Structure 1
Amino acid sequence: MPIELRQLRYAVATADAKSFARAAAMLNVKQITLSRRVQQLEDRLNIKMFERSTRGAELTEHGQVCVELARRIITDVDNLKTIARNVSYGLQGRITVGFCTSLMSGNLKLAISDYLTKFPDVQFDGEEAGPDELRHGLHLGTIDLAVCPIGIEEEGLASRPAWAERILVALPVDHELLARDRIYWQDLRREVFVVQAGGLGPSFGNLIAARLTEQSKSPAIIRQNTSLESVISIVAAKRFITIATEASQGVNWPDIEFREIFDANGPTRLDYAFYWRDGNANPALKQFFSMIGERYPS
């Protein structure tokens, strides 16, 4: 007799509830039915999974191993069902959007949320990568749209302005610069910066170098092959600082404070653009731009 998924579910529920009665109530089945199914599973596996008593049911040593395996099997099957069910998600098309900025908050998060709400039957795939990888994906056709800082204009790619986000410096909460009303780029010239090796890291590194290189003396920039979240988190150790966009303020960062960076023209901003491959006739891409046109008119 083959092992049934239902038997595995009953065994896991019994292990969690430590009682056949409570497990049966939780699953809305008769206790005798659940107990019989678990017994059949034990017989099929030729092991005793539970010690039964008037106080309930406790896993045996063999039972603990089997229940953990059963959890994995149930999870895998449930995931498979979800994927199969979502085949219909995408009947109205598919779009792959690449980006190198944070989705913690900000314009990109709102734009994607709007699109998912407005076009629920379009399969939306996101791909996070650096600008070079995104440009390559556009040419290969693996990405329909890239959202990244301006600067990847080249033959075969079309573009349109997107939005601008404020550039912020992330400092430990006791940093002396936080006592100032405004922080200017020149105030940061003696600091050591840490940036991502990928994502927005190269753009940030270029920005820092452009603002702080003077008389052939370059700013101290350390590049780390980690996530943006890890880069920001390390600022709390008080050895480095970093810069980020306002989207990074979407979560609480203990022991870190974000402040705008000013120059003679005001707060520093990073300009973004949409890029796509010339001739891309994907209807889902057209829908995306229709929505973007409403939210961010040219």
Structure 2
Amino acid sequence: MRRIAYVNGEFVPIEEARVSILDRGFLFADGIYEVTAVLDGRLVDNDSHLARLERSCREIRLPLPLSTDQIEAVQKELVERNNLRNGMVYLQVTRGTAERNFLFPKDVTPTLVMFTQEKDIANAPSSREGISVACVDDIRWGRRDIKSVALLAQVLAKQIAAEAGCDEAWMIEDGYVTEGGSSTAFIITEHGALVTRSDSSAVLPGCTAKATLQLVAEMNLTIERRPFTVDEALQAREAFMTSASTFVQPIVRIDGRPVADGRPGPLSLRLRELYIEFARTDP
């Protein structure tokens, strides 16, 4: 079965999908992206992702070429055309194609592309074993709340982590963890506090993180929205991360040192179960 992508109103085989070399996404990283998980053939928490897409686009004064209802219809058709059961739908919108000039072009239609990727997120072996993270300096720009396609700093961070034998990078600024290379960072303290940063320009407001925070009622955990250090994480009862492409993922080692006993903690695993239940019943 040929893999199908969407490019500016057309469904085409992915090997035939093309955008211009003058597209501003290619020249300036002048664009926004989103990734929505697919579980059992259904989009997961997509309203939250589309709301974040709208907000990011507003922040850089980038008009969407379709309404969010139309975008969702394309996402669903892509899932159907690709017979996708489990994985992700990637979406990217850029300011469009124009002669290279730093100023916004006039009378240009934004570029909208989407494609799917297969991944069995719910049954990933790493969710049972836990993952390792490596800490790197956070060298990103000052508007991390905008889901920009300018991801070079994250690429470098994740490459450093991979070369250290780790699965994710934690980015460090002023001695505190900001977030992962493509995830939101959490710890659970010895006193039963679930700690993660408040939403601000320093971090991307995670859709999976938001949903996870709404699922902790049965866990007897208090929520503390604040920064934490690596040392605090190493002293924590548990650590985990969230993202659309991993759901809730236990973290068992930081820079080669174990978190607690070095195994996925029961609270992280229970939150993962709760999130997957939510994902399967999300209307």
TM-score, normalising length: structure 2? 0.25
Ranked by relative contact order (alpha carbons within 8 Å, sequence separation 6 or more), the top structure is: 1
Q: Which has the higher helix share?
A: 1
The structure that has the greater radius of gyration is 1
